[in-house]
Structure 1
Amino acid sequence: MSERSYDFLMPSVNFFGPGVIKQIGDRAKMLGMKKPLIVTDKNSVNLKNGAVDQTLASLTEAGVAYVMFDSVEPNPKVRNIQAGKKMYQEENCDSIITVGGGSAHDTGKGIGIILTNGDDITQLAGIETLENPLPPLIAVNTTAGTGSELTRHAVITNEETHLKFVVVSWRNIPLVSFNDPTLELDIPDAITASTGMDAFVQAVEPYVSTDHNPITDSQCIQAIKLVEESLRQAYANGHDLDARTKMVEAEMLAGMAFNNANLGYVHAMAHQLGGQYDAPHGECCALLLPYVEQWNLIACPDRFADLARFMGQNTDGLPTREAAELAIEAMQQLSSDVGIPASIKAIGAKPEDFELMAENALKDGNALSNPRKGTKEDIVKIFQAAYDGDLSELY
């Protein structure tokens, strides 16, 4: 019998399904929110009858006042959260509601962090560094990708250094999450691909993580199967509500899994790509996935053989190593089918940046649970293989 113990973290209330967005106002009222700061981006505000419009309508119906902060940027910057804090204080807000994808949720968490734990968020990077709770936080999710509406992670970019850093704390977890698949019907196919692959990576990495456990394993397995079943369909036809619903289910399961079993080198390295070149996070993860996992494969080939089966590969009668290799091929095929390029050249990566990015990747908190431990030289090698688009460099 194993003597290992572990905790399991997620929001206390999670609303899921078509139409649940209508319940936001009632839930905000139940939490005692008098004047929440709505944290979102300008595109979402301008989308007629989109998630922001529906959120505001629900709040108005419930008699809850609000203030709009619509300055969220992709790969949210320190300046974004500082601007949000200023508005929160000037308008005498008492809570936060984030509306959007990972960038909105991370910005909202960042605002909450510096409201209660000190103005310099760069000094709070790391795991469980927060001493004080955030203001009450509701997360309204609009993409099947990051899982940030469920997790303890806040990923912020230091615009001065072009480095991403992560504040990981149970205090960051929203009190309530909302996932309404109808909000995703008009998402462009490129964003569907990028966010969907992020969800997929967030199911793969916890499964091979050194911190996995039986609960997170079950979530990863189901999430991987759902992505394999529905991402291509959602990419091909964004108005396929069944495919969108399954992708939201996959995203939620993956978010719960990595919130507790953590991630690995894919995310540690993707943070460097995204910070350095201001590239979409999900695309960075998808670009790196097969290269990192090819390098990881020898650490737990049995787990990669499992992944191949979950992705529908026929592994009957194959030795474990051969079955494991099929998982890498299936990852590449899924990425290709949804338009992800084969090389990090596509986002402007430059080999002269690899050493610094490798050094910083190893400092990223996600690196701690990777199944194979590497050096800076190993990480540079993986970046180079992803740049050349050549898996054979990692055999």
Structure 2
Amino acid sequence: MYKQYCRIYQMMMRSFTLFLKWRKPELIEGAGSINNVPSYIVNKKINHLFIVTDTGIVSSGLMEPLLVQLDKTNIRYYVFSDTKPNPTIDLIEEALQQYKELHCDALLAFGGGSPIDCAKVIAARVAQPNKKISELKGVMKVQKETPLLIAIPTTAGTGSEATLAAVVSDSKTFEKYALMDPVLTPNIAVLDPNLTIKLPKNLTAATGMDALTHAVEAYIGKSTTSETEQQCLEAVQLLLENLYEAYENGENIKAREKVQKASYLAGLAFSRAYVGNVHAIAHTLGGFYSTPHGLANAIILPYVLEAYGEKVYSRLADLADAANLVESTTPIADKAKAFIEAIKNLNDKMNIPTKTKVEEKDIPLMVNRAYTEANPLYPVPQIFNKSQFTQLYQQIREG
């Protein structure tokens, strides 16, 4: 009965989203495109820009050319560099207070998924000043115009520069959850592959697999559209053909550019078609053990696809065809299995482990949270019960 309720809920959500006004970011892309950002800001008549980043970005000097250009245009800005991985409610509220005290009127997020998510939730709180972040959890809880947001990713994986979602962590309850609303989609996204050249190999691998997980889960789910399907197929092809090259030869600008575009496409796709059980589990690992999100997705993805079994063979066969993994005449089941093997092989080549930290005592609560996150919202190919979630945690558990 509950599974039937979930499917009805998902069908209603899919029908509802057909009438939503979906915003796509204005795209600035190509090597060196970051140099065009200040002129965009001037044209938008911004008075005081609030830049959200992290200490790693600041110390690397990666943002310095942008700040120099901003200084030349006399644009006032303030740099908030305290963002941490898996931004917490307390951190976001601290940033919001500074945003208000400085009378800022626009946001620029510079970095990986964490600074972009942090900036999105700041924007949500500006739009909804009388609501706590916990009250904005879930779907369509903001629904008011947010400040202009420019997203400049320095990784290629989260797709946050294209999505309506932001993920936050509660340091008190160890819960990690998402805010999802079209108004959180950045107004401008800047895809400059030069910003990803110095990305360490382990981050290139983890963030790239994050993008692949987005594309796969969006494609195999039950809320796809013709547009999201095409975005997923292209993203998977780009990633399977270029991610390892970007990992192995980091200064290959073409490979970096294609991985970055794939991340963006996957972000657009899962904004409309959602993710699934892989993400539900990954979010608990991030909440409990601060496991990097992309790494968690990479580890979990093959296990979940195998657990789905024949229910996803046809869809995985499409992805295998898109990536030219097998001959077109290969049976569907063999194509699907070849796709899963390709994921495992890619993980192995990039030194991504097959197991991760999961403490036995935490599993019951993690199962409850993953089950609650996934259902009824995620239009997954198969609705897992709690026993199936438990089995998956046991499979990925070290030792």
Question: Which of these residues, 265, 273, 297, is aligned with residue 253 of structure 1?
Answer: 265
- Structure-2 residue corresponding to 1:359: 368
1:16 and 2:29 matched: yes
Letter in 2 for 1:323: K
Q: Map 1:271-290 onto structure 2 (within 5 A).
A: 271-290=283-302
- Structure-2 residue corresponding to 1:81: 92
Sort the Cα spacing of 1:18 and 1:316 in 2 relative to 1 into closer, same or farther, 3 A: closer
- Structure-2 residue corresponding to 1:384: 394
The CA distance in 2 between the partners of 1:286 and 1:206, in whole Å, is 15
What per-residue deviation string (whole Å, max 9, x for no partner) do you get for residues 211-255 of structure 1?
A: 111111111111111111111111111111111111111111111
The CA distance in 1 between the partners of 2:77 and 2:152, in whole Å, is 15
Question: Which of these residues, 233, 250, 254, is aligned with residue 238 of structure 1?
Answer: 250
Deviation at 1:159, TM superposition (A): 0.6
More displaced stretch, 257-266 vs 294-303 = 294-303
1:349 and 2:358 matched: yes
The CA distance in 1 between the partners of 2:328 and 2:77, in whole Å, is 58
Deviation at 1:62, TM superposition (A): 2.4
Question: Which of these residues, 13, 20, 38, is aligned with residue 51 of structure 2?
Answer: 38
What per-residue deviation string (whole Å, max 9, x for no partner) do you get for residues 161-191 of structure 1?
A: 1110100001101111111000111111011
8 Å contact kept, 2:120–2:184: yes
Q: Map 1:1-395 onto structure 2 (within 5 A).
A: 6=18, 9-48=22-61, 50=62, 52-117=63-128, 118-344=130-356, 348-364=357-373, 368-387=378-397
The CA distance in 2 between the partners of 1:114 and 1:214, in whole Å, is 34
Q: Secondary structure at the match of 2:397?
A: helix
Deviation at 1:119, TM superposition (A): 4.7
TM-score normalised per structure 1: 0.92
- Structure-2 residue corresponding to 1:392: none
Deviation at 1:388, TM superposition (A): 6.2
Letter in 2 for 1:382: L
What per-residue deviation string (whole Å, max 9, x for no partner) do you get for residues 326-354 of structure 1?
A: 2211111111111110112xxx2213222
The CA distance in 1 between the partners of 2:198 and 2:108, in whole Å, is 22
Deviation at 1:152, TM superposition (A): 0.3
Letter in 2 for 1:199: A
Aligned length: 382
Letter in 2 for 1:269: I
Q: Secondary structure at the match of 2:372?
A: coil
Q: Secondary structure at the match of 2:51?
A: strand
- Structure-2 residue corresponding to 1:393: none
Q: Secondary structure at the match of 2:115?
A: helix
Q: Secondary structure at the match of 2:198?
A: coil
8 Å contact kept, 1:35–1:65: yes
| Coordinate RMSD, CA, aligned | 1.8
8 Å contact kept, 1:308–1:324: yes
8 Å contact kept, 2:276–2:378: yes
Deviation at 1:305, TM superposition (A): 1.6
Deviation at 1:91, TM superposition (A): 1.2
8 Å contact kept, 1:155–1:167: yes
More displaced stretch, 57-66 vs 99-108 = 57-66
The CA distance in 2 between the partners of 1:226 and 1:91, in whole Å, is 42
Deviation at 1:271, TM superposition (A): 0.6
More displaced stretch, 377-386 vs 183-192 = 377-386
Q: 5+ residue gaps in structure 1?
A: 390-395
8 Å contact kept, 1:127–1:365: no
Q: Secondary structure at the match of 1:166?
A: strand
TM-score normalised per structure 2: 0.91
8 Å contact kept, 2:244–2:350: yes
More displaced stretch, 361-370 vs 180-189 = 361-370
Identity of aligned residues (%): 32
Deviation at 1:103, TM superposition (A): 0.3
